[in-house]
Amino acid sequence: MSTLSSATPAGDVKDSTAPPGATNPAGGAGATDPDGGTGAGFHGPSTGSGTGTRPALAAGEQLGSAAGERLVSATGVPVRPSAPRAAVRLLASELGLTFRKPRNIAMLIVLACVPVLLGVVLRVVGGDNDAPSLITQVAGNGLMLTFAAMTLLVELLLPLAVAVVAGDAIAGEAGGGTLRYLLTAPAGRTRLLAVKFANVSVFALVACSVVAAAALITGFALFPVGPVTLLSGSTISIADGLLRILIVTGYAAAGMAALGAVGLAVSTLTEVPIGAVAATVVGVVFSHVLSVIPQLEPVRPYLLTSWWSSFDGALRDPVATDVMTQGLLVFAAYTVICGSLAWARFSSRDITS
């Protein structure tokens, strides 16, 4: 039972009104709460929080009780499910909450609207000759809209959406008072953090895919589609172009997931979710500012933001695998460092609310 006992026991739960299942840090929540291992059992106690941060209460309770029945063995002794299965279930529950939250849905809709808007404007106004080549090329080939939209969004709007989900991950639970109920489950803080990061990563992938899909649909609907001209001047088939769109989306999602790790680390530092979100976004903006100061050019390769747009390596001939591999390594380094910082902070922290 390492969930709450790593900090001073008295400091763990100060609120005397908390339900009995949560107040006994050493007693083993798994024993008192049969469905604790599923990660869904916390939804019951949180009914009273009234903050609305966990809106899927009914679904959660159903899931929890159903799991609980299965988990009680014939002798009546609760059985913990295998760790991977429990983690998968916890992740599924997290994903359900993330993608049902109206705010997140709204963000995804806004993200999808940008390529549509871009396509409609280009269709109506038409590219003028002074515009960057990428924009004028969209008029000739709908597939280019995906790359144009990704270039536009990967700098700020996609990071913003990911920062909101990542910053909210721990701080939102802490601020809403649901974190300690989450921690009463025997899942452990490490697994909870891992699930939170997986959740953010999936959201990043979905956000990037939404942008790519919206751009593709708009491109196919409004513009002629044909062989794609790469940045190097050579031309590839539509199928190859779609494959490159897939690479671009995956790369962008990896970059956004790395930002998710940063946001998660910030999120463990505070109980104010908006603070964590703002700090992450300010960090992104600050990093963009740093990367345009010529005197700080040597710093640029170490900034997370300067690698996001390197997905253009997939549009060269031959594909600039060296640059993109380096970008992925930078993303991995940020994920490892920020992930371990988040873990150190989260697993040694007193949960007081």
Partner 1 sequence: MPSQSRRSRAVRWGVPVAAIAVVGAAVGTGPVIAAVQGDPTLPDRTAEQLLAEVAKTARQSQPPAMSGTVVETASLGLPSLPIPGGSSSSPMSLLSGSHTLKVWYGGDDRLRLALPGPMSETDLISTGKGEAWVWQSDANTATRYKLPEGKAGAHATPSVLPTAKTPSDVAAEVLKAADGNTSIRVENGQHIAGRAAYQLVLTPKASTSLVKEVRLALDGENYIPLRVQIYAKGTAEPAFEVGFTQVTFSTPAPENFAFTPPAGAKVEEKTLGAGDGSSGDQGAETPQAADAARSKLRTFGSGWGTIAEVPFSLADLAKPATGERGGKWGGEGDPAKVADSLLKSAKQVSGPWGSGKVLQTKLVSALFTDDGRLLVGAVTPEALAEAAGQK
- Using CB under 8 A as the criterion, which residues of the chain lie in contact with partner 1 when the complex forms? 6-8, 132-134, 136-137, 140, 147, 151, 226-227, 229, 231-235, 292, 294, 297, 300, 302, 309, 312-313, 315-318, 320, 322-323, 333, 336-337, 340-341, 343-344, 347-348
Please say which residue, 153 or 206, places its beta carbon nearer to partner 1.
153
Judged by CB, which is closer to partner 1: 347, or 352? Answer: 347
CB of 325 to partner 1, least distance (A): 12
Residue 12 or 35: the one with the smaller Cβ distance to partner 1 is 12
Give me the least distance between CB of 179 and partner 1, in Å please: 18
Q: Minimal distance in Å, beta carbon 300 to partner 1?
A: 7
Q: Round to whole Å and give the CA distance between 18 and 29.
A: 14
**For partner 1, the closer CB: 80 or 345:** 345
Cβ of residue 85: shortest distance to partner 1, in angstroms?
A: 26
Question: Which C-beta is closer to partner 1: that of 5 or that of 51?
Answer: 5
Task: Indicate the residue among 42 and 331 with the shorter CB distance to partner 1.
Answer: 331
Rounded Cα gap, residues 119 and 161, in angstroms: 21
Q: At closest approach, how far in Å is the CB of 277 from partner 1?
A: 22
CB of 82 to partner 1, least distance (A): 26
